[in-house]
């Protein structure tokens, strides 16, 4: 049988546990871990768990953001970024001086790049074309 990606295993576990009673969860997880051992993919467990948590948060309406900025963000700027997204936001901030200024926001597979570095690069390309 072809091995699945961690995100696919996580989806299986999420579907198995969705709507399950608390008393049923131990048995479901035990069976799932046994299945992973049989498939010889227990080493993927940390990645599967991370993907499972992301699915659970998404189902609960929680948006995970990673925000990169050249300098630490003020609380006011963090609140403005959170307000731009509907729902509960969990934000991780990363200082990345190489972007020069502005921010890069990652929400799932979507990246919003408002960095100075990207703007300069775009301007440079447009000047070379003209």
The CATH architecture one would assign to domain 62-129 is 3-Layer(aba) Sandwich (3.40)
Q: Compute the average pLDDT of residues 49-61.
A: 92
Measuring CA to CA, how many Å separate 75 from each of 24, 41, 55, 79, 115?
Answer: 42, 42, 28, 6, 19
Burial of 1 (0-12, 13-18, 19+ CB in 10 A): exposed
Predicted model pTM: 0.71
Sign of the dihedral through C-alpha 93, 95, 72, 111 = negative
CA–CA gap between residue 59 and residue 63 (Å, rounded): 10
Task: Kindly report, residue by residue over 56-109, the tens digit of the pLDDT.
Answer: 998 999 999 999 999 999 999 999 999 998 889 999 999 999 999 999 999 988
């Amino acid at each position: 049988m072809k091995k699945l990606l961690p995100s696919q295993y996580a989806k299986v576990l999420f579907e198995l546990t969705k709507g399950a009673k608390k008393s049923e969860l131990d048995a479901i997880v035990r069976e799932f871990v046994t299945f992973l051992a049989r498939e010889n993919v227990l080493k993927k467990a940390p990645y599967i768990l991370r993907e499972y948590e992301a699915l659970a948060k998404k189902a609960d309406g929680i948006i995970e953001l990673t925000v990169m900025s050249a300098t630490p963000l003020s609380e006011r700027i963090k609140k403005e970024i959170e307000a731009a997204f509907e729902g509960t936001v969990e934000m991780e901030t990363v200082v990345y001086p190489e972007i020069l200024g502005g921010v890069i926001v990652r929400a799932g597979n979507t990246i919003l790049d408002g960095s100075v570095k990207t703007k300069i690069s775009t301007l440079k390309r447009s000047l070379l074309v003209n």
